[in-house]
């Protein structure tokens, strides 16, 4: 039975990786706050920045790349421009060629929770796009980020 994973907690202490970044003019939509689709762009940025700087991912010439297989977001509060985002991540599930990250976003000024969600990466061969083993360096990173 494959029921969907539950939403992770809006609790900074529950996560193992953190990064901060500024919002941009165009993140705000016509209703004056960061658009829902941009939250997923934040997820993508947080994840890939980490994979590149700590996991050895080479997005230009690497043999193995990560593609998003499924993602999810529950919106808890607004973010806006100008402002900043305090983003948290942990590894929830680790397979031979896939990983499920859990993420939480907070308003960088107030500390209020803005969203929690998750994102599944399947690692594939950059040419054939068929599933490929997670590399040793990447796996070591994911194990460090996993919660007990």
Q: Are 77 and 107 in contact (CB under 8 A)?
A: yes
Alpha helices by DSSP H, the chain: 36-55, 136-145
Q: Which of residues 90-109 bind its own copies (CB under 8 A)?
A: none
Q: CA 126, 130, 134: angle at the middle one, nearest 5?
A: 75
Q: How far is the CB of 88 from its own copies (least distance, A)?
A: 16
Q: Could you give the angle at which helices 136-145 and 36-55 cross, rounded to 10 degrees?
A: 120
Q: Which of residues 4-33 bind its own copies (CB under 8 A)?
A: 4-6, 21-22, 24-26, 28-32
Work out whether 130 is an interface residue with its own copies (CB under 8 A): no
Q: Are 102 and 46 in contact (CB under 8 A)?
A: no
Q: How far is the CB of 67 from its own copies (least distance, A)?
A: 7
Q: Which of residues 34-93 bind its own copies (CB under 8 A)?
A: 35-38, 40-41, 43-45, 48-49, 52-53, 59-60, 65, 67-75, 81-82
Q: CA 124, 130, 133: angle at the middle one, nearest 5?
A: 50
**3 state SS of 66:** strand
Give the residue with the Cβ less far from its own copies, 53 or 110: 53
**3 state SS of 114:** strand
Give the residue with the Cβ less far from its own copies, 85 or 91: 85
- Residues of this chain that bind its own copies (CB under 8 A): 3-6, 21-22, 24-26, 28-32, 35-38, 40-41, 43-45, 48-49, 52-53, 59-60, 65, 67-75, 81-82, 126
């Amino acid at each position: 039975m494959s029921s969907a994973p539950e939403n992770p907690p809006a609790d900074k202490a529950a996560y193992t990786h953190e990064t901060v970044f500024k919002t941009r003019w165009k993140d705000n939509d016509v209703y004056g706050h960061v658009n829902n689709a941009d939250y997923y762009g934040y997820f993508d940025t947080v994840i890939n920045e980490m994979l590149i700087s700590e996991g050895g991912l080479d997005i230009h010439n690497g043999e193995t790349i990560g593609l998003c297989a499924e993602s999810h977001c529950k919106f808890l509060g607004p973010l806006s421009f100008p402002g900043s985002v305090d983003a948290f991540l942990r590894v929830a599930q680790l397979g031979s060629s896939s990983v499920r990250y859990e993420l939480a976003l907070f308003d960088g000024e107030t500390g209020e929770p803005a969203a929690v969600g998750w994102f599944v990466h399947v690692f594939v061969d950059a040419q054939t796009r068929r599933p490929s083993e997670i590399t040793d360096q990447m796996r070591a990173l994911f194990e460090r980020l996993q919660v007990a």
